[in-house]
Amino acid sequence: MQYVGVATGMNSLIRPALYGAYHDIDKPHAARQTGHELVTVVRTDLRTGGPLGSDRLLPPAKENDVC
């Protein structure tokens, strides 16, 4: 499993940690990219709840991507 960390916390999106709410997660301009992969999107501070999204099909992410 591949993990993608995003710079956010419970202060900006609390619902997934509280009761497992589903939110769409997209990467801008994803339609132009190929080679999507199955990833788990996590917060930078793992102590503040579970992942933002599990088993999401997203284009490859690189370090320092800005979305």
Local confidence band at 20 (pLDDT 50, 70, 90 cut-offs): confident
pTM over 0.75: no
Instruction: Write out pLDDT tens, residues 30-58.
Output: 666 677 889 998 887 766 667 888 899 88
Q: Give the whole-angstrom CA distance, residue 39 versus residue 61.
A: 10
Question: Where do the structural domains in the chain lie, given as residue ranges?
Answer: 2-58
C-alpha distance from residue 13 to each of 16, 31, 36 (Å): 7, 25, 24
SS3 at position 16: helix
